[in-house]
Chains A and B, each alone.
Chain A
Amino acid sequence: MKLSQKQRDFRNGLLFALPWIIGFLALSVYPLIASLYYSFTEFNAVTTPKWVGFENFQDVFHDPLVWKSLRNTLFMVFISTPVNLFVALLLATIVTRNFKLKAAVRTAFFLPSVIPMVAATMVWIWMFDPTYGYINNVLSLFGVQGPAWLMDARFTKWALVLMGTWNVGTTMLVCMASLQEVPTSYYESAEIDGAGAVRKFFSITIPCIAHVLVYQAILGIINAFQYFQQVYIIVTANSGVKGGSAAGGPENSILMYPLYIFHNAFTYLKMGKASAMAWLLFIVVAILAVVMVKVTAKVTDSAGRE
Chain B
Amino acid sequence: MGNDSYEIRKLIGKALFFILVAVLCLVYVSPFLVMFFTSFKTNSDAFTIPVKLFPREWVWENYPAAMSAIPYFKYMGNTIYITLLSVIGQLIVTPMVAYSLSKIDWKGSKIISGLLMATMMIPITVTMVPLYRIYSKLGLTNTYVPLILPTFLGKAFYIILTRQFFMGLPNSLIEAAKIDGANEFQRYTKVALPLTKPILTTVGIYAFLDAWSDYLMPMIFISKPEKYTLSLGLQQFMSEYSVDWARLMAAAMVFVVPVIICFAIFQKNFVRGIATSGLKA
Q: Are B38 and A119 in contact (CB under 8 A)?
A: no
Q: State which of B1-9, B23-31, B54-62, B65-73 sits at the interface with chain A.
A: B23-31
Chain B residue with the shortest CB-CB distance to A134: B34
Known: A13-B104, A17-B108, A166-B31. A134 touches B51 (CB 8 A): yes
Interface string of A190-216 (1 = CB under 8 A from B): 000000000000000000000110011
Residue from B38, B121, B235 within 8 A of A126 (CB atoms): B38
Residue from B34, B153, B231 within 8 A of A19 (CB atoms): B153
A176: shortest Cβ distance to chain B, in Å?
Answer: 6
- Name the A residues within 8 Å of B275 (CB-CB): 173-174, 176-177
Contact size class for A? Answer: 35 or more
Interface string of B175-186 (1 = CB under 8 A from A): 000000000100
User: Which residues of chain A from 21 to 47 have any CB-CB distance to chain B below 8 Å in the complex?
Assistant: 21-24, 26-28, 30-32, 34-35, 38, 45
User: Which residues of chain B from 100 to 124 have any CB-CB distance to chain A below 8 Å in the complex?
Assistant: 100-101, 104-109, 112, 115, 117-124
User: Which residues of chain B from 218 to 265 have any CB-CB distance to chain A below 8 Å in the complex?
Assistant: 220, 230-231, 234-235, 237-238, 240-241, 243, 245, 248-249, 252, 255-256, 259-260, 262-263
- Name the B residues within 8 Å of A222 (CB-CB): 120-121
A122 to B142, CA, bound (A): 26
Q: Does B88 contact A (CB under 8 A)?
A: no
Q: Are A17 and B25 in contact (CB under 8 A)?
A: no
- Name the A residues within 8 Å of B252 (CB-CB): 119, 122-123
User: Which residues of chain A from 141 to 156 have any CB-CB distance to chain B below 8 Å in the complex?
Assistant: none
Q: Does B35 contact A (CB under 8 A)?
A: yes
Known: A13-B108, A24-B115, A124-B31. A274 touches B129 (CB 8 A): yes
Q: Does A57 contact B (CB under 8 A)?
A: no
Q: Does A139 contact B (CB under 8 A)?
A: no
- Name the A residues within 8 Å of B125 (CB-CB): 226, 228, 257-258, 261-262, 278, 281
Q: Does A271 contact B (CB under 8 A)?
A: yes
Residue from A9, A26, A241 within 8 A of B153 (CB atoms): A26
Q: Does A111 contact B (CB under 8 A)?
A: yes
Main secondary structure of the interface of A (DSSP, over half): helix
B169: shortest Cβ distance to chain A, in Å?
Answer: 16
A237 to B277, CA, bound (A): 36
Q: Are A116 and B231 in contact (CB under 8 A)?
A: yes
- Name the B residues within 8 Å of A9 (CB-CB): 104-106
Chain B residue with the shortest CB-CB distance to A228: B216
A75 to B231, CA, bound (A): 27
Q: Are A134 and B49 in contact (CB under 8 A)?
A: no
Q: Does B167 contact A (CB under 8 A)?
A: no
A273 to B109, CA, bound (A): 37
Q: Does A267 contact B (CB under 8 A)?
A: no
- Name the A residues within 8 Å of B99 (CB-CB): 16
Known: A14-B108, A114-B263. A275 touches B100 (CB 8 A): no
Known: A20-B153, A21-B112. A279 touches B213 (CB 8 A): no
Known: A134-B51, A216-B278. A35 touches B127 (CB 8 A): yes
A241 to B112, CA, bound (A): 50
Q: Are B126 and A22 in contact (CB under 8 A)?
A: no
Q: Are A116 and B126 in contact (CB under 8 A)?
A: no
Residue from B127, B215, B216 within 8 A of A27 (CB atoms): B127
Residue from B18, B29, B124 within 8 A of A226 (CB atoms): B124
User: Which residues of chain A from 122 to 143 have any CB-CB distance to chain B below 8 Å in the complex?
Assistant: 122-124, 126-127, 131-132, 134, 137
Known: A120-B31, A132-B47, A226-B125. A107 touches B267 (CB 8 A): yes
A107 to B270, CA, bound (A): 11
Chain B residue with the shortest CB-CB distance to A274: B129
- Name the A residues within 8 Å of B46 (CB-CB): 132
Residues of chain A at the chain B interface (Cβ within 8 Å): 8-10, 12-17, 19-24, 26-28, 30-32, 34-35, 38, 45, 91, 94, 97, 99, 105-112, 114-120, 122-124, 126-127, 131-132, 134, 137, 166, 170-171, 173-174, 176-178, 181, 211-212, 215-216, 219, 222, 225-226, 228-229, 232-233, 236-237, 239-242, 257-258, 261-262, 265-266, 271, 274-275, 278-279, 281-282, 285-286, 289, 293
**Which 5 pairs from chain A and chain B are nearest by CB?**
A23-B153, A116-B213, A13-B106, A16-B100, A174-B278
